[in-house]
Amino acid sequence: MRINMKHVWIVFKKELKDAFRDRKALLVGIILPMLFIPAIFIISSLAAKSAFEVKPQKTPIAVLGKENSKTLTQMIQKSEFQIVDSKNPKKDLQDGNIKAVLIIPKDFEKLILQEKQVQLQILTNDADMKSSSVGSMLSEIINNLSKEITKSRLIQKNLDPSIIEPIVIKKENVAPPQKQSATLLSFLLPMFLTLWVAVGGMNAAIDITAGEKERGTLEPLLTTAATRTSLVTGKYLAVSFMALLAGLSSLIGVIVSFAVLPAALGEGFKNSPFSGYSVSPITVFIMLIVVILTAIIFAAIEVAIAAYARSFKEGQTYLAPINFVVIIPPYLTMYKIPNELTDTYFVLPLVNAISVLKELIYDIVNLQHLGLFIISSLVYIIISIKFATRMFENEKVLFRS
């Protein structure tokens, strides 16, 4: 059937007016996506900082056998850890009342003077990230003492202390701060962006298909002069518009998160896993292309599925699995760094959008991958629109009871 653009425009305006009258849908589809990503950004920053950051002056530890080594005890006291007494150190450690237990044996000083080896024991609760960090800090203090003792012994024997270190390892982390924080962001951001695009047009898709069936307004609409192709095109464009609005809203949330929040959070943002990360204008522009193409695909699929439903509630049931399907691709690419993503990832439906977004978060713009994504997305758009049109033109589907 021919498409009458005047009819398409009339249907498009009518469906958009209906969509904007639903304030709850607008809240879920437009306002929440804009607030959700900044909220996740703040919560993740504060949670990560809280989980890893150790302030010795506020961290209680137990030292059993303090009297056995004044030197070591003084070093720990100098580090400002709170040394507390504990009747049951293991239980207190498991309960989180203390963060580590250091056990100094009775013969510590005697064995040191005899130039023999002595064993110290550090107990930590590795289920508690702070306890694990405290254990590492205590190990470093003890290692420093051990090096000083060794150095002193060698000097007394007129030997060069460096002879016990024939090889010195110098480790250097060459990853820019932006790429270190990208690991977590490359999982979270693509998932939330595509999730909001999928959710954004869902209510509109159900309302203009199954909802119209339920209200009994679909049959009169089909008797008008407008062809079914014009009707489905107008409705489809309205759903695409709502999905796109949700995608743009979440994209604004991304920009706010990286352009405004770091300055607003100040010291609270320092040392968070996202500090030092920013998004460039070209990154935002390509993200916009990804959002637009993904919104169009989801709109067509949602219109086709919702057209099969007999009521609004049934439509919600049919479309609910989309929420779960959307979060699968981020897990497929979760443990892949960008250079491990082959061309196949950029042609698979939805995985291609997630993969392009993942590269962008690592500040990589690969034109070949971008081209594969655009071409494959256009193919999926054509297939999904034909599917939606078939469903809308099939009277057995539209008027099934």
- Choose among 21, 32, 399: nearest CA to 221: 399
Interval 149-164: pLDDT, tens: 888 888 888 888 787 7
More confident: 127 or 261: 127
Interval 321-375: pLDDT, tens: 888 888 888 888 877 888 888 899 999 988 999 999 888 888 888 999 999 999 9
Residue whose entry in the numeric block shows the structure tokens 């849908």: 25
Q: What is the pTM of this model?
A: 0.71
**What separation in angstroms does the CA of 79 have from each of 85, 97, 182?**
17, 19, 33
More confident: 135 or 188: 135
More confident: 29 or 290: 290
d(CA 45, CA 157): 52
Q: What pairs with residue 83 in β-bridges?
A: 61
- Sign, CA torsion 39/45/48/53: negative
pLDDT at 8: 86
Q: How does the average pLDDT of the chain come out, rounded? A: 83
- The answer to whether 252 and 316 have CB atoms below 8 angstroms apart is no
Does the pLDDT at position 376 exceed 90?
A: yes
- The answer to whether 341 and 359 have CB atoms below 8 angstroms apart is yes
Does the pLDDT at position 178 exceed 60?
A: no
Does the pLDDT at position 202 exceed 70?
A: yes
d(CA 40, CA 50): 15
Residue whose entry in the numeric block shows the structure tokens 């695009």: 197
